[in-house]
Structure 1
Amino acid sequence: MIERIRLENILFLDIETVPEQERFELLDAETRELYSLKTQYQRKDDFTAEEFYDRAGIWAEFGKIVCLSAGYFTFKGDIRHFRVTSFFGDEVKILKDFSNLLNNHFSQPQHIMCGHNAKEFDFPFIARRMIINQLAIPPKLNLFGKKPWEVPHLDTMELWKFGDFKSFTSLKLLTKILGIPSPKGDIDGSQVGHVFHVEKDIDRIVTYCEKDVVAVAQVLLRMRREELLIDDEVIHV
């Protein structure tokens, strides 16, 4: 039961991804063809591969991570804080810094990672990009040989499903129905690529990403029937 997990043993995270190149025509001919083949089922006949390229960031083969935000609880007596930090900019540095965080502070058996739809997206995307960038995968992300109950991952969307596999519930919807202040700011996921490649406003993306991390923590608190975080408890470092 999630109530038995010590909050300070959970690392909450979220990633923001964008197409690896700003425009489809910047890809080499073979990669353009491979992208066309990869996306043909999703596109059907409605879009060309070029018209569909703004969605390339959802595939680790054609996208990259531009921000990874992580948060964790700390307790001193009755004082509770939620500390949020972000890694952003160069993808290799993001992945290396995140690996150091995992290996140095969240590598023990009791430590787990938590995100929303993270088992389907964030966790595998990070691991795949590490392989692509020739980086060692931290044990907390390497699932090879692990039994299902040995996987140190929590997913708030999976928790909400209660065994129902028919639907996707967005973090925005979940926070709404649970009475949690909306995590979203002035952009949404579909705009991150434009904000990164065209506006070159990484700070705006970091703010967006960190809000999601706080929202995931709030959802888990609500599922545990615990008091939500207030602004003074959230510390950005």
Structure 2
Amino acid sequence: MISKLNLENILFLDIETVPETESFSDLDNTKRSLWEAKSKYQRKDEFSAEEFYDRAGIWAEFGKIICISVGYFKMDGDIRNFRVTSFYGDEVKILKDFKDLVISHFSQSKHLLCAHNGKEFDFPYIARRMIIHNIELPYKLNLFGKKPWEVPHLDTLELWKFGDYKTFTSLKLLTNVLGIPSPKDDIDGSEVYRVYYEDKDIDRIITYCEKDTIAVAQVLLRLRGDELLQDNEIKHI
């Protein structure tokens, strides 16, 4: 079935997130208390809520999106191109620009959104942050009332599981076993907080995010039995 998908109908994506403020002390008293309660079971007794705060970006209620990278295929006969671009800066603008792209180019029933662990992280995170900022959800993210087979999302992690729900396979591990160039050749997710708030190097994060987006597309190609993308087929726009 996956081999029958038209690659041009898929929008591949990855997001990068950080805590909503640089430090725990920047939160108001109410939000501090809420963070202490939310993180209690994850940090246990090993860390205080303040020490654990650098991980707050994984929760949409305490984090924010700093980059969304997207990629899509364009075919011209036998010529295959994969175009990659990123939205970054102010979170509201990121979300609105991403929404505009989805509505203008990927809103038809045949179109799909694709990410690695997207159903557990990327898609709900984007939707929650849109709701928080009073941005109406685009159809592709509004799952209310949809049956499972009507959800227009592809998840390369889910595809790799082949029905096995016991384990999690990271994108880094999956690219390694499938012989795909690693997207984690510079930083990984645990370093995004530092690179963003301490180094203030958004360009490095954008590069990292785009590499992940390309890697997701490469994984889908391998699952289909297609040839991997070559560097000259990838266009950054």
Q: Which residue of 2 aligns with 1:23?
A: 23
Q: Deviations over 1:98-135 (max 9, x none)?
A: 00000000000000000000000000000000001110
1:67-146 aligned within 5 A: 67-146=67-146
How far the C-alpha of 1:186 sits from its partner, in A, is 1.5
Paired residues, what number?
237
Q: Does 1:13 align with 2:7?
A: no
How far the C-alpha of 1:225 sits from its partner, in A, is 0.3
Q: Which residue of 2 aligns with 1:207?
A: 207
Distance 2:235 2:14 in 1: 17
Distance 1:197 1:136 in 2: 29
Distance 1:236 1:206 in 2: 11
Q: Which residue of 1 aligns with 2:179?
A: 179
Range that drifts further, 203-212 or 189-198: 189-198
Structure 1: segments with no counterpart, 5+ residues: none
SS at match of 1:165: coil
Distance 1:197 1:44 in 2: 26
Q: Which residue of 1 aligns with 2:152?
A: 152
Q: Deviations over 1:155-194 (max 9, x none)?
A: 0000011111111100000000001111113111011011
Distance 2:195 2:225 in 1: 37
Kindly provide the amino acid, as one letter, of the partner of residue 34 in structure 2: L
Distance 2:52 2:89 in 1: 24
Q: Alignment RMSD, CA only?
A: 0.5
Distance 2:152 2:70 in 1: 16
Q: Between the two proteins, what is the percent identity of the paired residues?
A: 71
Kindly provide the amino acid, as one letter, of the partner of residue 70 in structure 1: V
Structure 1 stretches of at least 4 aligned residues deviating more than 6 Å after TM superposition: none
SS at match of 2:86: strand
Kindly provide the amino acid, as one letter, of the partner of residue 179 in structure 1: G
Kindly provide the amino acid, as one letter, of the partner of residue 65 in structure 2: I
Kindly provide the amino acid, as one letter, of the partner of residue 108 in structure 2: Q
Kindly provide the amino acid, as one letter, of the partner of residue 208 in structure 2: Y
Distance 1:139 1:197 in 2: 33
Q: Deviations over 1:189-230 (max 9, x none)?
A: 011011111111100000000000000000000000000000
SS at match of 1:199: coil
